[in-house]
């Protein structure tokens, strides 16, 4: 994969609005509840699997039991806490 290659988010409307996500982009979501984050991450993970891309996750938030449990349900190659 070349740098700045476009990748699909799994949400066609978002891909159109953002002109896709590019490799190397930092995608940041500020949500008040994990269910809001899940609306974006579930389609993204499914698309990444279809495209045979690895998933890396970085978290910058206070620790919570709910958040930790949610992350255990996400299949990924690397997680940075």
Encode pLDDT of 6-41 as tens digits: 999 999 999 999 999 998 888 887 888 778 888 888
Q: Under a CB-based contact definition with an 8 Å cutoff, are residues 41 and 74 in contact? A: yes
Among residues 74, 42, 43, the alpha carbon closest in space to that of 56 is found at: 74
pLDDT value, residue 32: 82
Q: How many CB atoms lie within 10 A of CB 7?
A: 17
pLDDT of 78 above 70: no
Q: List phi, psi (to 5°) of 78.
A: -140, 140
> Out of 2-6, 10-14, 44-48, which region has the weakest mean confidence (pLDDT)?
2-6
Cα separation of 3 and 54, whole Å?
A: 15
């Amino acid at each position: 994969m070349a740098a700045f290659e476009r990748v699909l988010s799994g949400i066609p409307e978002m891909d159109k609005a953002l002109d896709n996500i590019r490799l190397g982009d930092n995608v940041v979501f500020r949500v008040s509840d994990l269910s809001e984050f899940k609306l974006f991450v579930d389609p993204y993970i499914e698309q990444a699997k279809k495209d045979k891309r690895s998933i890396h996750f970085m978290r910058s938030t206070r620790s919570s039991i709910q958040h930790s449990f949610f992350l255990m349900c996400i299949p990924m190659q690397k997680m940075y806490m």
